[in-house]
Structure 1
Amino acid sequence: MLISPLADRNQKELCSVLCDVLEEQSHRELFALELGSGIGQHVVNFAMATQLSDIKEESRDSVRSYIAVTKVKTVLQPVHLDASEPWEKWAGLPRGACDVIVAINLLQCSSFDTVEGVVKGSGQILRQNGLLITHGPYAINGTITPSCMEDLDQELRQMNPGWGLPDIDILRQLAFGNGMRMERMIEREQDNKYLVYQDV
């Protein structure tokens, strides 16, 4: 089982925001999909905090270990999912299968094809009024602030020329073109933002 100190530091805030965003739906069980689950720390804590059902991808052995150690009952076993592929290939999920799709620090380390795929796929996989929740640093109308975020953007682009901080305005247009609207933007510490899109 792998452990990320960064995930530990962010866990309380992430769970707090997720619970706040989903508060109006707390009376029913939700089916959620986390894209780019990494080692599994977030998803297990999300499930214990919010009682979400979930499907995972990536670092699957570590996710399985977290499920086993925590004995959480609402997290399904991890599956491979390439968000750049058409939504019909998303682990066989049918149209309108999910109430919530979560992507934590995924869009920043993805090609534009994957970013576009996340938005397009979410527009199909989410039920009406379902939510896509993304987290991380972003550009706004082509501008990245503060300077430390510019440095991060450059570091990501050096690692992979297709990566970098996505622009909120481009994401908003992509969402609108795929049947979603930005419901809200939540700003938190360290210049990270939570973007909440609703399927309409």
Structure 2
Amino acid sequence: MTAKRSAPATERNREPIAEVLTRELPPQGRVLEIASGTGEHAVFFAERFPALHWQPTDPSDEALASIAAYRAEYAGDNLAAPLLLDAAAPASWPVEAADAILCINMVHISPWSATEGLFAGAAQILGSEGGPLILYGPYLEAGVETAPSNLEFDASLKARDPRWGLRDAAAVDAVAASHGFVRMARYGLPANNIMLVYRR
């Protein structure tokens, strides 16, 4: 039985996400991916951006095994072995520096402490050079009507774990600001998802 897992949404969202990354990522350097999940995004983006060194991470052993299985089939040399990383524990991150951080679909499927830890850790490893912290997923926004499908998704997440759920983008902005980050861009993407880009 293979360790590889599959997330159907990956094939639908990877191209729109890549379009934004083309605008926001540095031309070269190290990208730290937080909560890489199955590893499908990591392989796709490593291939799409060959000048960038891609570092996938996840707090789940099952996910790490899946990422490693996908990496074993990847022909390039810019995709690192996955590392165990819990965003909620920024003091123990196994990476000392990165030029950009990408976090896809974690903020709503984790306790709020993971979002707080994400920005705390990003402040440590991105330094003050203006490297981006890029988030993707569904969010609640003032003045923007929440799609019924997102409301249903939010209810289902909270039913699975009351600590989970769609976050208010303004609350994320506030946590970002407490660590010296400012939201520099917002991109609307398909299926009622958005990408938020923060820099120091």
Give TM-score, length-normalised by structure 2.
Answer: 0.90
1:79-118 alignment to 2 at 5 Å? 79-85=83-89, 87-91=90-94, 93-94=95-96, 97-118=97-118
Q: Distance in 2 between matches of 1:134 and 1:112?
A: 14
What do the CA deviations read for 1:145-189 (whole angstroms, capped 9, x no partner)? 022211111111001000001111011111111011100100111
Kindly indicate whether the alpha-carbon contact (under 8 Å) linking 1:138 and 1:144 is maintained by their aligned counterparts in 2: no
User: Could you tell me how far apart the structure 2 residues matched to 1:137 and 1:149 are?
Assistant: 7
1:23-172 equivalences in 2 (<5 Å): 25-26=26-27, 29-51=28-50, 52-58=52-58, 59-85=63-89, 87-91=90-94, 93-94=95-96, 97-127=97-127, 128-141=129-142, 145-172=146-173
Give the deviation of 1:195 after TM superposition: 0.3
Shift of 1:53: 1.2
Equivalent residue in structure 1 for 2:20, among 5, 12, 17: 17
Shift of 1:106: 0.6
Secondary structure (helix, strand or coil) at the match of 2:132 reads strand
Q: Tell me which amino acid in the other structure corresponds to 2:48.
A: A
Return 5+ residue gaps in structure 2 as ranges.
none
Task: Judging by fraction of residues, say which structure has more helix.
Answer: 1
Name the structure, 1 or 2, with higher relative contact order (CA <8 Å, separation 6+): 2
CA shift at 1:4, angstroms? 2.4
- Label 1:9 to 1:143 Cα distance change in 2 as closer, same or farther (>3 A): closer
2:175 corresponds in structure 1 to: 174
* CA–CA distance in structure 1, aligned partners of residues 15 and 144 of structure 2: 29
CA drift at 1:116: 0.8
Q: How many pairs were matched up?
A: 191
Separation of aligned partners in 2, 1:6 and 1:175: 27
Distance 2:86 2:143 in 1: 27
- Determine the C-alpha separation between the residues in 2 that align with 1:176 and 1:53: 28
Matched residues, percent identical? 30
| Counterpart amino acid of residue 75 in structure 2 | K
2:10 to 7, 10, 27: 7
